[in-house]
Structure 1
């Protein structure tokens, strides 16, 4: 059986960017899926989407992949889209889900008509390419993979719940 809740800690450039509680929906030993309300204060308007109080995020984190996919819905349940963070593989330890953000992001609108690569300038400025070339390559490949999946019909196949014989410990 898995824990019913965790504390998600999003780390960027060695500093905790945000920390928030989340309910664990599923943990199959490879992917951890949690739900949480919009955790940042106030509204964040990106121009192509607004995250605001009342929004609910269903977040998928993998222990073996270099990304996280967050399904975003209004409090009333209307799908806004998917915000994808390029990250190192997630680590779940002692009730904390640790995720290292590598700056690259992808937005996929609810109807799939808009697929946007984000923050590539921040990624280049981060110095990861010089500091950890293997991680930088993995991050670029993860962004390319998510974009390919999104353009080929969406992220539904990736997010379809696996059917393991039992819950991971």
Structure 2
């Protein structure tokens, strides 16, 4: 009789945008210390998503870090061979874990940092402006902009985003 390897617990990452589920996918729960949750999942998108500065594609692996007290998530992106592509950061309301559902509300702002740190860019500021969040929930909009500003500073210093993940 052989013993089965203990399976890592799974969660279902639920990305909500504009009040609707944008995408939902299973992920391996790596760590939950009550404040920060870390999960790992393969690229959950359909096919290839080419941003021009990075491509997310089948075989890529995302190690994702979510906080219950911060307005962002940080996703370390590696290709199928384990080579680091960079970090994709979503500005979002603090994450909640309800049962096995890890729910994150995306607020349209994003930040990218390349593996070598030479490319740090803010993304989707136009979508954020068009979302109407500043009018509907000024406090959330201000928290989102503050989070983006803070992440951009962290991404440009030595140690970069890795310092948040240690």
TM-score (norm 1): 0.92
Equivalent in the alignment of 2:39: 34
SS at match of 2:11: strand
SS at match of 1:64: coil
Q: Distance in 1 between matches of 2:125 and 2:45?
A: 23
Structure 1 consecutive aligned stretches of length 4 or more whose deviation exceeds 6 Å: none
SS at match of 1:9: strand
- Larger Rg: 1 or 2? 2
Q: CA RMSD in A?
A: 0.7
CA drift at 1:60: 0.1
CA drift at 1:4: 1.1
CA drift at 1:108: 0.2
CA drift at 1:7: 0.2
CA drift at 1:157: 1.1
How many pairs were matched up?
A: 158
SS at match of 1:76: coil
TM-score (norm 2): 0.94
Describe the superposition over 1:29-72 as per-residue Cα deviations: whole angstroms up to 9, x where unpaired. 00000000000110000000000000000000000000000000
Asked if 1:63 corresponds to 2:41, the answer is: no
Q: Distance in 1 between matches of 2:77 and 2:143?
A: 25
